[in-house]
Amino acid sequence: MLQITNLHAEVEGKPILNGLSLTVNAGEVHAIMGPNGAGKSTLAYVLGGRPGYEVTEGSVTFDGQDLLALEPHERAAAGLFLGFQYPVEIPGVSNVQFLREALNAQRKARGEEPLSGGEFLKLAREKAGLLRLDMDMLKRSVNVGFSGGEKKRAEMVQMGILDPVFAVLDETDSGLDIDALRVVGEGINAIMRSPRKAVLLITHYQRLLDYVKPDFVHVLAKGRIVKSGGPDLALELEREGYEAVA
Amino acid sequence: MNASLASVVPTTRDEDWRYADPDWLAAADPAALNRWRELAVPAGETLCETGIVEAGVDRLRVHVGRDARFALFLVNPAGPYARAEVEVTLEEGAHFEFGGVTLGGGRKRQEFVTRVFHAHPHASSNQVVRAVQWGQATGNFLGRIEVARDAQKTDAAQNFRAILLEKGAAANAKPELEIFADDVKCAHGAAIGALDRAAAFYMAARGLPPEIARKLLIRAFVADAFAAIEDAGLRERMLEQALAGLEGDVV
């Protein structure tokens, strides 16, 4: 589904990714772990197409197409979802309005009919329920006045509504207490665990992986993957630290 | 305006006209320039006016009676030079609410000029102006608040924010507070910036094409100016009218 080959990228002229290669197949959950500054968030932003994150070498193929040639909104319509480490506040734009516009823009790009207001609200209510987020929160401005945990749950509600085939989740576990972590973990499983979907979980810690069991774990250091393994690798990292393992 | 000045055309050396279009002023007809529309809101009554500003200079002088309320909401999409000027005198307990949006590109020069006289105690005023400019256009807000010596418990606020969509666009804020009473609240704020890039990328990452994302962000931005319109239908129409200026005009 996703094939990253020898990816080099820089931010403001500074090289961050240095030859990263990774293949993710449908039905798989991959975890990327690594110390601060390893390039984890840069990888997420490069995949999402954030301006200022410049690819200098390598390629990314997503479902057979050149992902890097697509604009950010086209990547979303192609089925890519980027869960933000720091979800952005948008005063004056309600979640409902934002997500309905976003979903219908994606549907339009795929040649599908738009959802009516009623159909959309039904879908939003269902996904909010899944993440135990009060529906009233979705009537408020996007992320404005949300706590850290609410922002992360709202991200997952967005993911549920947009129904991507591939999700890159950048430290979705940060800022969550233990109960919220379980709710979010179960939400990710419910939305993304499917033979036709895949997930790239970017995280510092093992704890989210207790709920979302990865098929593969990779250690990212200095902009490339230095070690890959099964779920046990995450436990090993947790026990012994990045320096000892990688 | 002093009667002896009625035949004189101002220049950009005049403080009140410092951001005006000098070419337009040089060619202006003094009689048309100095035509004021007069309005009085009787004591205890409420008047709400909405409108679209047209090219040229539009001047309105309003007397708001005791405990009366005057609300004015304007969209200014016009050019090459479009100035809406409002002078309001408030009696005791009166309120003036103003919401204005300038929105334009090209070389348009659009401005709101307000003068609010808090002549008596317990009056309040609230002014919210939003500017969205691109190309080489300019959006201005010159807001003067005068509080007379015995106008205690005056509560006056004005807020101006501008978004410049392109390099070359400009905005000017000129708040002036002249306060002779000691027990008053007067607040003003001004900020000029670009469209929030982080929000734009976040919206793109959810599948919104740039033009829709920008429209949503601008809509949210200008909505502040019309937030005080109680009638939801009217509020929506004003927003639509403001945003209509964006269609096909922004690069």
B16 to A37, B75, B115, B141, B176: CA distances (angstroms): 54, 21, 10, 10, 11
Distance CA B145, CA B125 (A): 9
Q: E-strand spans in chain A? A: 2-11, 14-24, 29-33, 53-62, 65-66, 80-83, 90-94, 141-142, 166-170, 198-203, 216-221, 224-229
What pLDDT does residue B34 have? 84
Query: Does the structure show a pLDDT above 50 at B161?
Result: yes
Distance CA A195, CA A122 (A): 25
If we measure between CA atoms, which residue out of B131, B137, B110 comes closest to residue B251? B137
Give the dihedral sign, CA A193/A195/A197/A200.
Answer: positive
Q: Is the peptide bond before A15 cis (omega within 30 degrees of 0)?
A: no
pTM of the model: 0.89
User: pLDDT band at B98, cuts 50/70/90?
Assistant: very high
User: pLDDT band at B250, cuts 50/70/90?
Assistant: low
Query: Does the structure show a pLDDT above 60 at B54?
Result: yes
ipTM: 0.95
Residue ranges in chain A modelled with pLDDT below 70: 246
The structure tokens listed for B143 are 């807001």
User: pLDDT band at B32, cuts 50/70/90?
Assistant: confident
User: pLDDT band at B243, cuts 50/70/90?
Assistant: very high
What pLDDT does residue B155 have? 97
Q: Which of A11, A98, A166 should be substituted to probe chain B, the one whose Cβ sees the most B Cβ atoms within 10 Å?
A: A98
What one-character DSSP code corresponds to residue B158? E
User: Cβ contact (<8 Å) for A101 and B201?
Assistant: no
If we measure between CA atoms, which residue out of B191, B245, B198 comes closest to residue B217? B198
Residue A82 has its nearest CB partner, among B205, B210, B221, at: B205
What pLDDT does residue B249 have? 55
> CA nearest A71 in B: which residue?
B204
The radius of gyration of chain B from alpha carbons, rounded to an integer in Å, stands at 18
Q: Which of A86, A93, A107 should be substituted to probe chain B, the one whose Cβ sees the most B Cβ atoms within 10 Å?
A: A93
Identify the weakest region by mean pLDDT among A164-173, B29-38, B235-244. Answer: B29-38
Query: Does the structure show a pLDDT above 60 at B3?
Result: no
